[in-house]
Each structure stands twice: as structure tokens, then as C-alpha cells.
Amino acid sequence: MKKVILLVLSWRLLLFLPLFFLPFIPSPTNTRYLGISPWANFDGIPYLSIASQGYVNEARFFPLYPLIIKVIVFIARLPITPYIYFVTGFLLSNIAFLITVLVLYKLLRLDYSHKISLLSILFLLLFPASFFFGSVYSESIFLLLTVLSFYFARKRKWLLAIAIAMFLPVTRSVGIVILPALFVEWLLQQKEKNVPSFSILLLLFIIPIGLIEYAIYNFLKWGNALYFIQAQTELGNSRSTGIVLIPQTLFRYAKILLTVPITQYVWHIALLELAVFIFGAILLYFAYAKKIRLSYFVFSLLAFLIPTSTGTFTGLPRYVIVLFPLFAALALVKNKTVKIIYCVISIILSIALLMLFARGYYIS
């Protein structure tokens, strides 16, 4: 475990290095999404706003993460200032991620060797968008709840697993896929010793309660119980509330790359999003081929398909970083050249993307 902790702390410290090069990067023309810190740009702004002032019209940002920030500030009786809320959110994300990696290591060790488990974590840390785990974003909390749910389910502590899983749908919309994933885990354990009772299966259906409560809140505040879904389309990113076939989205991205001048920033973001989609799809195949535990695979597949079936791959780099089974699948690949190429490309992209994000350019 000491190696795991050292790995995470080294990753966190190294994330500060690219920030020294910010003066050499020109400022974006639109500074609307610049927060009070490079670690709180874009989504970090509404999260802190919700934590300090409550909801105005940011329904697309689910409540658990900003609520935890608010509760910590209240319990600790800290001064009510924007900087205090930022520091609280920043520490929350980073501490949660450290705990996440420790639990993830224990979860992976149930099936794999120390080497494979450590490699899986390394590949997760190296992924170009992993810096979001150390930012004022909900990714750390989401992944922590996910691995805790699976870990306690694997340990057959089902009541605890379900209690934790209930918070996932109010952290991010795709959190609801933990329900079918845990259902598959329940089925898998039917074939093993210490079979979980049928009552556990019934309890799985209380997982959406938090999401239902959030829908009620949406109805009372905005007159639309599903406003949090509609709000996803208000960003101007061509996201649809209906299902858009992936081939249609691929055609759209091909059109962007062929018609938009390469000198425009949007061209490079489109290329990044398309590359992450291809990368995620390939790793899903690897996960299936390497026989990653079926409950993990179901979680990853559904959490990947939901955002990619909305007509855009916007935000996909962030959606992929919480799919821990994909990085376990990559660790299981025997070809060392593939792993080396992944590490080299990831390190280069990590530095570039973090500098751009910190400067105020949209990444994911």
C-alpha cells in the first residue's frame, strides 16, 4: 500500500509543474469560465456557486459534491468566503482521490496480482484527463463511491454497498448504471459460496431514491422534474436529450475534422474527443476479451454508451477516467510496446491539456 500512496502523492505533486509554464500560453478570448484558481475552472465555478449560494439554474450539476463542500464548511465553522469554499473543494477532491486509489487497489487485488493492480492505477493516473481528479470537480467522489460499492459488494457486505451506491445517481447522471452493475454482481454471486439473499436483490431498487428526490426538487424549483436532463442541452454543445446513434456522431466528427480549419482550437478538441472515443471503445473490447469481471464490464459499457449516445463526445475524456475496468484491461495487455506508447502519449498530452485547462481553455 505504501507504493500506492507514494504513486498518488508523486502524481499530485507533478501536476503542479505544468502550471509554471502558464505565462507562456496566451489567454483565451473568453474568460467566462475562469475560476479563482486554475483548479476550479469551468465546472468548478458552478459547483462552488451551488455550495455557497444554492441552485439558481445549474440543474445539470448534480448536488452531492457541492453539498459535501457546504456541509464541511458549516461543520468546521469556516469563514464564508469564495476562497474557503475553493480550498474545501480542492482538499475534498484530492483526499477523496487518495482514498479512492487505496480502495481501488484492494478491489483489484481480489482478482489480480500486485503488479497488475499497480499498473492499472498507474495507467489511470497517466490518462491525459486524470488531473480532473485533483480539481474542484465531482470525478473523485464519483469514482470513490463506485469502487466502494463494488468492493463491499464483492466482500458480500451488501447493505453497505447499496447504501453507498444510493449516492452515485446524485453525483453524476451516469451513476444510475451502478444498479444494473450490482444486479449482475448479485447474479455472479449466486454461483459462488455464501449466496446473497433474495432480499438484497429487492434492496437494489432503492438505489434511485436520491435521483427521484432530486427530480422532485427540480419540479418544485423549475416546474420540470426532468429539468436536470433538459439542462444538459443548454450548453450549446449539440448534446441531445434523446438517443443519437453513434455512427451519426462519428459522421459529425468526421465532418468537423474535414471542414473546420486545423488552426482553430475547436478542431483539436474534436480530434481529442474522437481519439478518446476510439481509445475507450478499444479498451472496452480488451475488457471483454480479458474477461474483466462481468459486473465491472456492465458498469463500464453502460457508463460509456450513455454519454456517447447523445450526439456528441463532449466531455468524454472526463467520462472515461472513472471507468476503472478499462485501465485494468490495459494492464492485462501483454504487449509491452502498447503500454510504453500509451505512457509516452499520455504524459505528453497530460502536460499540454493541464496547461490549457489551467489557462482557461476548454478541455472536457
Report the amino acid identity of residue 291. Answer: K
Q: How many CB atoms lie within 10 A of CB 245?
A: 10
364 lies in some domain:
no
CA 217 to chain centre: 24
By the 8 A CB rule, do 37 and 91 touch?
no
The pLDDT of residue 194: 64
What is the C-alpha separation between 83 and 97, in angstroms, rounded? 21
Q: Which residues contact 103 (CB under 8 A, 6 or more apart)?
A: 144, 147, 148, 151
216 lies in some domain:
yes
By the 8 A CB rule, do 313 and 277 touch?
yes
The pLDDT of residue 170: 97
300 lies in some domain:
yes
252 lies in some domain:
yes
Number of domains in the chain: 1
261 lies in some domain:
yes
In b/e form, how buried is each residue of 227-240, taking b as 16+ CB within 10 angstroms? Answer: bbeebbbeeeeebe
Name the nearest CA neighbour of 43 among 317, 356, 341, 315: 315
354 lies in some domain:
yes
- For 321-331, write each residue's pLDDT tens digit: 999 999 999 99
pTM of the model: 0.95
Whole domain around residue 187: which residue ranges? 2-359
Split at pLDDT 50, 70, 90, the class of 195 is: low
